[in-house]
């Protein structure tokens, strides 16, 4: 669906991603993981044409991203940046309506279709009952769902989310990822997420990409990617990897100093 | 609960959504402006009754009052109205674009450029070149300075905050140069320049009205066409881009329209300050947030502020004629404070 060809990204002469070749599979949930500053968000931004590559290309289906007009891209690919902040006093409905921008024109500003799509987007994210509330008055989870509703109103095949669960409590994290899962299952959307929580990433990802040293360290199914070796290499962290008791997906349990000390104690006791 | 109407043609080629309440309020505002204009035309060293004004408007012969209305008061009022409307919309565009309520054409150097050019014209070319070229010089000054600010603010595109900061810097430089020119000019020209800087519509003619009209009547509707882009831009650069907005092209259009409007106002009414800052705020306090509603609201409010200020300036201290810029602040500021006070208790 999305492909990069020796993609090099960075700011000024600081190279962050170097000659990267990856492919985002169609109709799957792909999750990027990696240490802070490894360039996962940078990569996501360039897939969404929010950052120009220093070299190389990003392909969207057959087309080069750089060749397409920004409006054409907006009909194929929606992205929720991490920095999204709403103007003061805007309501949920007003925000979601903005998602129709790429489909509208000077004369066609609020068609019957626009209205339907906005209502559907609010319904499928469960914010319809909040339509007239201001974004500022919502809880973190509701707010994030309203933003996702806006991206859904764009009616795109692809959805990119940059750390959508940051600042949310665990219940809301699950809620947002469940929503992504549903969108993928029911509507066949291709979803790409940057995520910090490895255990949740392993649960929800069909395809995982671990980034390190400006390139891909490992990619594939969560079982293939999340291993003690990967944790050591990418995060410099000693971990146990066991099957998640609920889903069977790999679950990482870091040692850390405290854990090691306890193990020592236990060993002594034995 | 907001009442909205959906306007849709059966074929679907035309569709939009309107909020009813603000547009009804707009009608009310427009009517009060007509009333204020009538009062303004009536007042002066010679009282002209509103009935006479009405008769004049519907084309009846009103004798000697014709001269007072047609040659003295009406062109002056219209120039003030246009200047205020232009400044109001100019300030509104800047404030909405940079999402900063302190932006206005007189703060970021657009007005300053026009002022410098006009003062240069008055102090050095005053005796040589006809004064009828003054508006052109002022407009040129605004345009050149704005282009300069725009180029300085360019770094992989325009970032609004850079634009504002550079504008403030340039404005300081411009006002220093303007002061310098006035200090070095003879007393009679310097006082003329000073009145111009405060903003004055003294001696406005139908020629001025005719020259301002096309700019205002084209640029304000153009500003309305920016509505959708403006709403999307307010979600931030990244979200707007991801929704398919052509940020730099649209920003350039926004800035251009703002500069043209401010330039026209400066050219014909001088360096009136405060309107570009206040009119959009008052519009927002009364009309909410939709840009499509704010454009006509800021235009009406700006226009009313300036012509009311001029009526007071020309009648309060007869036979003295106080420059309009003085009373713009004198009536605008208390009204603005009142609105803020009232909103605090809502």
> pLDDT tens digit string along A116-139?
999 999 998 999 999 999 999 998
Mean per-residue pLDDT over chain A, rounded: 90
- pLDDT band per the 50, 70, 90 thresholds, residue A270: low
* pLDDT(A10) > 80: yes
Average pLDDT value for residue range A93-98: 93
- Judge: A102–B228 Cβ closer than 8 Å, yes or no: no
**Closest Cβ–Cβ partner in A83, A90, A106 for B225:** A106
**Closest Cβ–Cβ partner in B225, B231, B241 for A98:** B231
- pLDDT band per the 50, 70, 90 thresholds, residue A208: very high
* pLDDT(A186) > 50: yes
Assigned token pair, B235: 């979600």
Please give the residue of chain B at the shortest CA–CA distance from A45: B238
Structure confidence by residue, pLDDT tens digits, B147-174:
999 899 888 778 888 888 899 999 999 9
Residue B220's pLDDT is what? 94
- pLDDT band per the 50, 70, 90 thresholds, residue B6: confident
Residues of B in contact with A48 (CB under 8 A): 242
* pLDDT(A176) > 80: yes
**Closest Cβ–Cβ partner in B1, B15, B239 for A111:** B15
- Judge: A109–B228 Cβ closer than 8 Å, yes or no: yes
- Nearest C-alpha of chain A: how many angstroms from B167? 24
- Judge: B236–A85 Cβ closer than 8 Å, yes or no: yes
- Judge: A86–B231 Cβ closer than 8 Å, yes or no: no
Residue A266's pLDDT is what? 65
- pLDDT band per the 50, 70, 90 thresholds, residue B100: confident
- pLDDT band per the 50, 70, 90 thresholds, residue B18: confident
- Judge: A98–B17 Cβ closer than 8 Å, yes or no: no
Residue A42's pLDDT is what? 92
Q: Give the DSSP H or E segment for A6.
A: strand A2-11
Tell me the longest C-alpha to C-alpha distance in chain A.
79
Residue A34's pLDDT is what? 93
Please give the residue of chain B at the shortest CA–CA distance from A47: B242
- Pick from A129, A126, A240, A209: which is nearest to A172 by CA? A126
| Strand A239-243 with A215-220, pairing | unpaired
Contact A253, A226 (CB under 8 A): no
**Closest Cβ–Cβ partner in B13, B238, B246 for A107:** B13
Structure confidence by residue, pLDDT tens digits, B105-147:
988 889 999 999 999 988 888 778 777 888 889 999 999 999 9
* Interface with B, mutate which of A49, A70, A80, A89 (most B CBs under 10 A): A70
* pLDDT(B11) > 80: no
Our CA angle for A118, A120, A122, nearest 5°, is: 70
* pLDDT(A27) > 80: yes
d(CA B315, CA B43): 7
Structure confidence by residue, pLDDT tens digits, B239-296:
999 999 999 999 999 999 999 999 999 989 988 888 998 999 989 988 888 899 999 9
Residues of B in contact with A90 (CB under 8 A): 234, 289
Residue B70's pLDDT is what? 86
Residue A261's pLDDT is what? 64
* Interface with B, mutate which of A46, A101, A115 (most B CBs under 10 A): A101
Residues of B in contact with A83 (CB under 8 A): 236, 238
> Rg for chain A (alpha carbons), in Å?
20
| Strand A158-162 with A14-20, pairing | unpaired
* Interface with A, mutate which of B99, B242, B292 (most A CBs under 10 A): B242
Residue A264's pLDDT is what? 66
- pLDDT band per the 50, 70, 90 thresholds, residue B72: confident
A255 or B84, higher pLDDT: B84
**How many beta carbons lie within 10 A of that of residue B287, not counting itself?**
21
Residues of A in contact with B236 (CB under 8 A): 81, 83-85
d(CA B124, CA B189): 9
Residue B166's pLDDT is what? 92
Average pLDDT value for residue range B212-216: 94
- Pick from B253, B302, B260: which is nearest to B282 by CA? B302
d(CA A72, CA A68): 6
Residue B1's pLDDT is what? 42
């Amino acid at each position: 669906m999305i492909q990069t060809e020796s993609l090099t990204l960075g700011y000024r002469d600081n190279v962050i991603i170097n000659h990267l070749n990856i492919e985002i599979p169609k109709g799957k949930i792909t999750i990027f993981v990696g240490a802070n500053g490894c360039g996962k968000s940078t990569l996501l931004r360039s897939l969404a044409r929010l950052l120009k590559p220093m070299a190389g290309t990003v392909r969207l289906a057959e087309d080069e991203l750089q060749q397409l007009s920004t409006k054409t891209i907006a009909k194929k690919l929606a992205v929720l940046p991490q920095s999204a902040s709403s103007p003061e006093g805007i309501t949920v409905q007003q925000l979601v309506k903005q998602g129709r921008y790429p489909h509208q024109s000077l004369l066609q500003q609020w068609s019957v279709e626009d209205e339907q799509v906005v209502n559907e987007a609010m319904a499928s994210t469960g914010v319809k009952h909040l339509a007239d509330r201001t974004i500022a008055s919502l809880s973190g989870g509701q707010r994030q769902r309203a933003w996702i509703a806006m991206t859904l109103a764009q009616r795109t095949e692809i959805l990119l989310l940059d750390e959508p669960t940051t600042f949310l409590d665990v219940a809301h994290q699950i809620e947002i990822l469940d929503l992504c899962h549903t969108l993928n299952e029911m509507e066949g959307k291709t979803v790409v997420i940057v995520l910090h929580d490895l255990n949740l990433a392993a649960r929800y990802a069909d395809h995982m990409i671990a980034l390190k040293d400006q390139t891909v360290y490992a990619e594939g199914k969560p079982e293939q990617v999340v291993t003690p070796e990967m944790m050591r290499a990418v995060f410099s962290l000693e971990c146990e990897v066991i099957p998640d008791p609920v889903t069977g997906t790999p679950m990482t349990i870091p040692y850390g100093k405290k854990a090691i000390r306890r193990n020592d104690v236990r060993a002594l006791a034995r | 609960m907001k009442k909205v109407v959906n306007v849709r043609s059966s074929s679907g080629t035309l569709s939009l959504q309107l909020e009813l309440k603000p547009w009804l309020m707009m009608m009310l505002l427009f009517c009060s402006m007509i009333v204020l204009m009538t009062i303004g035309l009536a007042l002066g060293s010679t009282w002209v009754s509103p009935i006479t004004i009405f008769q004049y408007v519907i084309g009846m012969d009103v004798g000697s009052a014709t001269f007072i209305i047609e040659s003295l008061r009406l062109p002056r009022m219209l120039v003030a109205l246009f200047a205020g409307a232009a400044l109001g919309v100019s300030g509104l565009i800047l404030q909405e674009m940079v999402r900063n309520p302190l932006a206005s054409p007189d703060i970021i150097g657009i007005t300053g450029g026009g002022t410098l050019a006009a003062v240069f014209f008055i102090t050095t070319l005053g005796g040589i070149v006809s004064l009828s070229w003054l508006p052109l010089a002022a407009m040129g000054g605004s345009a050149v300075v704005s282009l300069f600010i725009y180029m300085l603010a360019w770094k992989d595109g325009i970032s609004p905050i850079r634009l504002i900061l550079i504008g403030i810097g340039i404005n300081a430089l411009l006002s220093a140069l303007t002061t310098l020119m006035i200090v070095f000019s003879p007393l009679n020209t310097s006082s003329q320049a000073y009145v111009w800087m405060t903003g004055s519509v003294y001696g406005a003619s139908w020629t001025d009205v005719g020259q301002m009209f096309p700019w205002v009547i084209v640029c304000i509707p153009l500003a309305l066409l920016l509505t959708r882009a403006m709403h999307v831009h307010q979600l931030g650069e990244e979200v707007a881009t991801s929704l398919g907005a052509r940020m730099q092209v649209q920003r350039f259009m926004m800035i251009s329209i703002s500069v043209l409007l401010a330039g026209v106002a400066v050219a014909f009414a001088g360096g009136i300050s405060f309107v570009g800052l206040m009119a959009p705020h008052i519009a927002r306090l009364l009309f909410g947030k939709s840009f499509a509603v704010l454009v006509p609201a800021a235009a009406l409010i700006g226009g009313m502020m300036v012509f009311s200020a001029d009526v007071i300036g020309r009648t309060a201290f007869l036979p003295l004629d106080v420059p309009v810029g003085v009373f713009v602040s004198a009536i605008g500021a208390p009204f603005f404070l009142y609105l803020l006070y009232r909103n605090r208790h809502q």
